[in-house]
Amino acid sequence: MAGKQILIVEDEQPIREMIAFGLRRAGYEVSEAEDCIQARERIADRRPDLMLVDWMLPDMSGLELTRQIKRDKETREVPIIMLTARADESDKVTGLEGGADDYVTKPFSPRELVARINAVLRRALPGGDEEYVRADQLVLDQAGHRVTVGERTVPLGPTEYRLLSFFMTHQDRVYSRSQLLDRVWGGNVYVEERTVDVHIRRLRKALADFGCDRYIQTVRGAGYRFSTRPQ
């Protein structure tokens, strides 16, 4: 991912410099903005490959900036990671629903931030609809419409298959129940949010026989995430 340009939008100079230092050391090119107006100027100069946006900015909230970036067709594809000092899960959900691709809670280590950036950039790479998607020993065979571990096929109902297939193609990111309903059930208004929990339970049960149920992680107050990394 070296050579990618990352725009840091953060008004607190020491934090901004600390992040910039860590990212440059990891091989990224960095540009900086201390408010939303400067951020717009930087974007107009050169569209970044990814943006880090602080939640609390002097001229406009980072959430509002994120919404604007995601509404504009010129910048819609730019991945955004929100930096938040807020530990409140509902704020994280608001951030993700506002269009952020991920969030990192302060204080974070430069290593953790670089790992998140790498994960988000990997997801943003073209080729997201490849035939096979891997998550450790799980292999999603999109053409064959099945998930396998080695020679064995994981026995899944149609909804569990759609859910797992969505998770495997959107790894390391939290989705709220309503987002999952939207993306996996197609926003059928007659389906209740607790239906999601029922299918999550079934999916975990199917994966447990393969020792993979731990990948389906519950994020308290926020929703669910699929990740092969420990929670």
CB of 22 to Ca ion, least distance (A): 18
Residue holding tokens 């990891």?
26
- Position 15 contacts Ca ion (CB under 5 A): no
Least distance (Å) between residue 79 CB and Ca ion: 20
- By C-beta, is 54 or 102 nearer to Ca ion? 54
How many chain residues touch Ca ion (CB under 5 A)? 3
According to CB under 5 A, which one of 5, 11, 146, 166 is a site residue for Ca ion?
A: 11
Q: How far is the CB of 15 from Ca ion (least distance, A)?
A: 8
| CB-nearer residue toward Ca ion: 60 or 219 | 60
Backbone angles phi, psi at 100, to 5 degrees: -65, 145
Residue number with CB closer to Ca ion (13 or 153):
13
Which residue, 16 or 173, is less far from Ca ion as judged by CB?
16
Q: Which residue has the CB atom at the shortest distance from Ca ion? A: 56
First to last CA, the chain: 24
The nearer residue to Ca ion, 18 or 56, going by C-beta atoms, is 56
What is the x/- site pattern for Ca ion, positions 40-59, by CB under 5 A? --------------x-x---
Nearer to Ca ion, 95 or 223 (CB): 95
> 23: burial class by Cβ within 10 Å (0-12, 13-18, 19+)?
buried
Binding residues for Ca ion restricted to 49-108, rule: CB under 5 A:
54, 56
At its nearest, how many Å lie between Ca ion and the CB of residue 66?
14
Residue 93 C-beta: closest distance to Ca ion, Å: 20
Nearest-approach distance from CB 61 to Ca ion, in angstroms = 10
> Interface with Ca ion by CB under 5 A: which residues?
11, 54, 56
